[in-house]
Amino acid sequence: MTVEEFVHTYYVDRTGTNSSKWDGLKRKFGRSDLLSMWVADMEFKTPQPVIDALAKRIEHGVFGYAEVPDSYYEALDQWMRDHHSYSIKREWVRFTPGIIPALYWFVNMFTKENDGVIVMTPVYYPFLNCVKDTNRKLITCDLDYEDGKFTINYDRFEKMIVDNDVKMYILSSPHNPAGRVWKEEELDKMLGICEKHNVLVISDEIHQDITAPGVKFIPSAAVLGGKYESIIITANAPSKTFNLASFLHANIIIPNPELRAIYDEFSKRYYQAESNLIGITAAEAAYRHGESWRQDLMKVIYSNYDYVKESMKDYPEVTVVPLEGTYLTFIDLRAYVPLDEIREFVQDKCHIGCDYGEWFGENWKGFIRLNIATHPDFVHQAIESIKRELKNYICHAALKERC
Ligand SMILES: Cc1ncc(COP(=O)(O)O)c(C=O)c1O
C-alpha cells in the first residue's frame, strides 16, 4: 500500500473513545484543544487479521481462565527469527501486563533498597520512576549529544557503574527518545562493561520492529551470537508495533535459568497472575499475519519523519534528531526558544500536546518529543505551527533588539 492508501484504510479519529492520547489531554496538559502528539500509540487500526481473530474470540462469548497455546510461543519465536535472527525457547518466556510493571518488578526482584540502578538519559521516564519509586539509587549517565546525534560515552558509563556499585542497567533499545538503534559494536561495548562489573541488564526492546529503512535492530541477547545472553532479561511486546497497548500484554525473555528461578520465586510471592486471553489472541494474530501491515506502517512513519526533517530545514538551528528507530522524533529547539519559555511556546502558541525533554532527564529541557505515527496531516499541522511561531518569535526578538 502507498502511504495515502494506508492512511485512508486505517486512520481513525479517536476523540471520544476514552483514548489517553486525545481524551486525556485535559488531564495531562490542562486543556483539551491541543494537537495531540504525546503518548506513544497510533491513530491507525491494528491489522485486519488481528481484528478478525479478536472478533472470532469475542463471538465465542466465554472468557474464562485461559491457557497460552503452543501456537503462541511458535508465532513469537518465528517472528523473532524472521525479523531479528534470534530464536526464543518456550521455557524462557514469561508474561506481564505491560513493560512498565515489569520494570518495577525487575527492580524489586533483582536489587535491594539503595542499590544503584543506571540508565542512559534522556530516556523514557518510567525508567527513572521505577528506580526512584522503589528507593533505589538512580544513576543517570547522559548520552553524548554532538552534531545532533546521540552516542554513548563508555568511559563515563563504566566510571559511574564502578563509583556507584551499580547492580542493574535498564537499557532502551531502540532508544526512546534518542531515536538510536544501537549497532552491534555499541551493544557489545555497553554489555561488555556490564558483564565485567556484574551488572544485570534489562533490555527494553518494545520498539524493536520500528526501524528506518536499512537500519538493523539487534536484540541485546543476540549480540555476537548470544555472548551476553546470561546477563540479559529482554522485555518486548507487540503493543507498539501493532497498536495494541491497552491489551496489557508483554513478553519477558529470560534465557538464564538462575535469573528465571528468581523471577519465578518473586512471581510466586507477589504476583500470581493468569495470562490475558485477549492480549495473547491479538499478539499471535499480529505475529502471524501482521507483517505486510507493519511494512506499510513504516512507510507512513518514515515519510512523516522525512517531512519533519525537510520542513525544519528552514530553521537550520532547530535540530531534528535522526530517527533510526521508534516513531518518536526528538527535536532540539534550544537555539531559538529560551528554556523557561518552551512550554508556553509549544503548548500556548503552537497548540501542541507533546512530551518535554526534561521529562526524560534533567539536562534535556529545550527538546520536545513528537509522536509521528499518525495522520500526515497532523504532522504537517504541528510542524507548520512550530515554524509559524518560530518566525513570530524571531521577529519579536529582532524588534526588541532594534528598540
Ligand atoms: C521504551 C518504552 N518502554 C515501555 C513502554 C510502555 O510499555 P507498556 O505499555 O508495555 O507498559 C514504552 C511506551 O512508550 C516505551 O517507549
**What tens-digit pLDDT sequence spans the chain (403 residues)?**
999 999 999 999 999 999 999 999 999 999 999 999 999 999 999 999 999 999 999 999 999 999 999 999 999 999 999 999 999 999 999 999 999 999 999 999 999 999 999 999 999 999 999 999 999 999 999 999 999 999 999 999 999 999 999 999 999 999 999 999 999 999 999 999 999 999 999 999 999 999 999 999 999 999 999 999 999 999 999 999 999 999 999 999 999 999 999 999 999 999 877 789 999 999 999 999 999 999 999 999 999 999 999 999 999 999 999 999 999 999 999 999 999 999 999 999 999 999 999 999 999 999 999 999 999 999 999 999 999 999 887 777 766 665 4
- Across 291-344, the runs of DSSP E, i.e. the strands, are 319-320, 328-332
Q: Which residue CA neighbors atom 9 of ligand 1 most closely? A: 98
Say yes or no: do domains 3-47+291-402 and 62-289 share a fold: no
Distance (angstroms) between ligand 1 centre and the Cα of 389 equals: 31
Residue whose CB lies within 8 A of the most ligand 1 atoms, among 41, 95, 99, 248, for a mutation test:
99
Instruction: Give the closest residue to 363 by CA, choosing from 342, 339, 379.
Output: 339
Nearest-CA neighbor of 319 among 208, 216, 179, 183? Answer: 179
CB 322 within 8 A of CB 5: no
Non-local (6+) Cβ contacts of 65 within 8 A are 274
Give the sign of the dihedral formed by CA 142, CA 145, CA 150, CA 154.
negative
Please, what CATH class does the domain formed by 62-289 belong to? alpha beta
Nearest-CA residue for ligand 1 atom 10 is 98
Strand partners, 118: 139, 169
353 alpha carbon to ligand 1 midpoint, in Å? 19
CA distance 19 to 42: 10
Tell the CATH superfamily of the 3-47+291-402 domain.
Aspartate Aminotransferase, domain 1 (3.90.1150.10)
Nearest to 230 by CA among 203, 266, 270, 269: 203
Domain ranges of the chain: 3-47+291-402, 62-289
Q: Ligand 1 pocket: which residues have CB below 6 Å?
A: 40, 98-100, 124, 172, 176, 204, 206, 237, 239, 245, 250
